[in-house]
Amino acid sequence: MIRGYPENMRKSIENVNKTRAKRLTETKADLTEAERKEVLNNYHPDYNPKFKRDLAWGPNKGDNIPNEVADVIEAYPVVNPDDIDLSKIDYDVGVLIIGAGGAGTSAALWALKKGVPADKILIATKLRLGDCNTVMAQGGIQAADRPEDSPLIHYLDVIGGGHFDNKPKLAKALVNDAPKIIKWHKELGMMYDQNPDGSFVENAGGGTSRNRMHCSKDYTGMEIFRVLKDEVINKEIPVVEFSPAVELLTDETGRIVGTILYNIETKQYFVVKAKVTIMTTGGFGRLHVAGFPTTNHYGATADGIVMAYRAGAKLRNLESTQFHPTGAAFPEQMLGLLITEKVRSLGGQVLGYDGEQICYPLEPRDVEASSLIKCCASTDNYVETPTGMRGVWLDSPLIEELKGKGSVEKNLSAMYRMMQRFDIDISKDPILVYPTLHYQNGGILHDENCYSSLKGLLAAGEISGGVHGKNRLMGNSLLEVNVFGRRAGITAAKEYKKKGVKSGKLSLDHVKKSVESLDALKMKEIRHSPMILPEYRSEAVRDRLVKLYEDSC
């Protein structure tokens, strides 16, 4: 090992160092529409039929979705409806929020702001308040607030990036609310990076035609979330931790009227009755779609999708998974962890074994990821690690040349620290990367006010579908959780104040019905869901590495 890299990788790093001066002024053309199509069709896991199947039952029967997602939807409930005593209500609340990430906390704060008393709100979460993907988002949050930018330009970037499959009203809400969100964050005291003249630091993102990525170093999500969390505690909004929801409750009209929580430490069930329920449980990274490692947090297992689907909620765009182009491919200990797109926003290029650029570094994520997979799968211009993992270089030292000495440590301090722990100095040496499972593009169908297809159920954040179409752009997920979290909170407050809304008897009848549908499928493999937490014990730790290599290369 020489400064963190084995000798054979060092050889390739020499190539990278040699070409750097030349690459300072070299720009690679972005792909044409036809070229994009080619690389996506051939190399993106979304477009590979072997990773997918048609969903066998329910409102979205026939949708072609990833096998791992179908596995948890085509699965029997973990709760036996007959075991739960629904006559004893443990929490009777106005607004129930399932999931305590960015969307859930924003929703709670806005419901409160719009008149729901704190003690009539309940946030329930699987792990801790803040064990979520929001804290892990690094690069930034988009908002078109510069004079040379506009929400309309942002809109076009979003729609095109999503392959014109976004729900237009949702895309409009996303971009149009963005400046408002930044304003709200500033009122709360968040520290977005600013230039000496007081203007925001705004970077480029993949697929954006203007620099509008607001950031807090590469801890943007963490800064946003810790402030929201601080505020939730200040406002004394009740939070139940280590208590994931395992099923929703319906009444005889099919309206969502609460949930069953399961305390994973005491192994007890709790019945929650709620006037409005907001689903903000996030995405499905921990299902390891197509065998990929993931950037997601420990609890990202699609539980919300499973529960809502059993209750009859319609889904959208679940066929589409986002693979982040740059997950760490080395060292082995960091495999699959996010190397923020901000590295490329700041000028970092993606290079093969020979030290030459592979493609324009800021393509939309699906295109960029597919280009990197192509390089590793169908050429020999890749770098191999001692454990057999393939990857390509992300030239972070180039940033020092472009933005000045010390800019890597200053702007990418999380990345710098993470690699430093393994003796790699990313201001001097490049980072080995390979695409990693990052984001669930689709999810619960909802409208711009977050109403799902079910009465009494709202959805916001990564769990929802339609905002990003088939591909999300960088910086639009931190934006999404805030925009739709806020909107869900406001809608929930409206619903909470509505007089004469009757909720009937709490029941799990929809769960029983789902069991009947599943029985009719006569599945060979009997599975149960929601998963709650993924299984990593014993050999599974090592096997994942092998599986990744097999499936993706």
Partner 1 sequence: MAKTELKTKAENKTQMVKIYIMGSMYEVPSSLTIMKAIEYAGFKLTRGSGCRAGFCGACATVYRKEGDFRIYTALACQTQVEEGMYLAQMPFVPANKAKYDMETLDPIVGTMLQYYPEVARCLSCNACSRVCPQEIQVMDYVQYSLQGQFDKAAAVSFDCVQCGLCAIRCPAEIPQYHVAMLARRLHGKHNMKAPETLEKRVKEIEDGEYEEGFKELMSLPKDKLRHKYYHERDFIDQKKA
- Point out which span in 37-45, 128-136, 370-378, 463-471 binds partner 1 (CB under 8 A): 128-136
Look up 344 and say whether it is catalytic: yes
Query: Of the candidates 46, 74, 131, 480, which one interacts with partner 1 according to CB under 8 A?
Result: 131
For residue 119, give the DSSP letter: G
What tokens appear for 140 in the block?
A: 């930034």
Query: Of the candidates 264, 407, 425, 447, which one interacts with partner 1 according to CB under 8 A?
Result: 264
CA atoms within 13 A on the CB side of 341: 35
Output 456 or 461, the one with its CB closest to partner 1. 461
Considering only residues 9 through 28, tell me which ones interact with partner 1, judged by CB under 8 A. 27-28
Q: Rounded CA gap, 436 and 45, in Å?
A: 11
CA distances from 209 to 179, 268, 332 (A): 17, 51, 35
Q: Rounded CA gap, 415 and 344, in Å?
A: 13
User: Using CA of residue 494, residue 496, residue 499, residue 505, what is the dihedral sign?
Assistant: positive
CA distances from 456 to 117, 276, 279 (A): 19, 5, 11
Give min distance, CB of 23 to partner 1, in A. 12
CB within 8 A of 198, min separation 6: which ones?
none
Q: Rounded CA gap, 108 and 232, in Å?
A: 8
Give min distance, CB of 9 to partner 1, in A. 16
- Number of residues binding to partner 1, judged by CB under 8 A: 98
Helices and strands (DSSP H and E) totals, the chain: 16, 22
- Point out which span in 63-71, 186-194, 445-453, 502-510 binds partner 1 (CB under 8 A): 186-194
Compute φ and ψ for 121, nearest 5 degrees: -110, 145
- Point out which span in 5-13, 149-157, 424-432, 443-451 binds partner 1 (CB under 8 A): 149-157
Output 291 or 456, the one with its CB closest to partner 1. 291
Site string for partner 1, 291-330 (x = CB under 8 A): ----x-xx--------------------------------
Look up 163 and say whether it is catalytic: no
- Point out which span in 54-62, 125-133, 442-450, 523-531 binds partner 1 (CB under 8 A): 125-133
Give min distance, CB of 417 to partner 1, in A. 7
Query: Of the candidates 7, 82, 83, 187, which one interacts with partner 1 according to CB under 8 A?
Result: 187
The single residue of 324, 438, 468, 487 carrying the catalytic annotation is 324
Site string for partner 1, 192-231 (x = CB under 8 A): x-x---xxx---x----xxx----xx-x-xxx--xx--xx
The single residue of 23, 212, 288, 344 carrying the catalytic annotation is 344
Strands (E), 86-192: 91-98, 121-124, 141-142
The amino acid present at 473, given as its one-letter code, is L
Asked if 421 is part of the footprint of partner 1 (rule: CB under 8 A), the reply reads: yes
Tell me which residues are annotated as active site.
324, 344
